[in-house]
Amino acid sequence: MKENILYTSVAPLLEYFNRLIPLSSEEKQLVAELFKPRLYRKRQYVLQEGDVCSSFNFVVRGCLRMYKIDDKGNTHIIQFATENWWLMDIGSFHGKEPSELNIDAIEDTMVLHISYNDLINLYTKGPKFNLIFRVLIENSFVSLQKRLLQNISSTAEERYLSFMQDYSHLNNRLPQVQIASFIGITPEFLSRLRNKLVKPKS
């Protein structure tokens, strides 16, 4: 019975950084040292409600989701993260306080993660990473804001169509349940919506 082996390449992350701003070889070295690979299998938790989020996660391949479970037990997906995206609960990470959110894997997923201390370390030894992470967070912020706006101002149908625009690559990769939970409707209703959109007149 064979099990998965962790193949430890930071190449995708280096490339990601390099596209934002070129790195010196010392900086590359730093990244290679401080980021650790980690494999999560489908359905595995990366972060569980009540735990402190102790790392920044960069998805190398696979797909994660971050979500909140409300009092009624319903799941609300805040964010997906596929290849070359970051996912963590920044609030919990910086405040070192228990998270209200969960992160788990929707597919078998490989991440590169860096712990709190090592991130501080990274900033100290490579000040350029302050810039990089600022930009990176700003990007996330922008798309979050867009999503919020989308959400408060639209009907389910509009939200679905806008999801299809912004995340069309996720459409045939994710189960509908997840998409429904992302745009805030029931899977049944999404099924009907889709149906209606395909054959618009009956």
Partner DNA sequence: AACTGCATCAAGAAATAGTATTGATCTGGT
Partner DNA sequence: ACCAGATCAATACTATTTCTTGATGCAGTT
Interacting residues toward DNA by CB under 7 A: 42-43, 72, 74, 155-157, 175-177, 184-189, 191-192, 194-195
Smallest gap from residue 110 Cβ to a second copy (A): 11
Which of 197, 169, 167, 172 is closest to 183 using CA atoms?
A: 167
Please identify, using beta-carbon distances, which residue of 20 and 156 lies nearer to DNA: 156
Please identify, using beta-carbon distances, which residue of 11 and 152 lies nearer to DNA: 152
- How many whole angstroms separate alpha carbon 116 and alpha carbon 122? 10
Residue 191 touching a second copy (CB under 8 A): no
- How many whole angstroms separate alpha carbon 112 and alpha carbon 118? 13
Which of 55, 48, 41, 24 is closest to 127 using CA atoms?
A: 24
Q: Which of 138, 177, 191, 195 binds a second copy (CB under 8 A)?
A: 177
Grouping H, G, I as helix, E, B as strand and the rest as coil, residue 53 is coil
Q: What's 68's DSSP letter?
A: E
Q: Would you tell me which residues interact with a second copy (CB under 8 A)? A: 1-3, 5-6, 38-45, 48-50, 69, 73-75, 104, 177, 180-181, 187
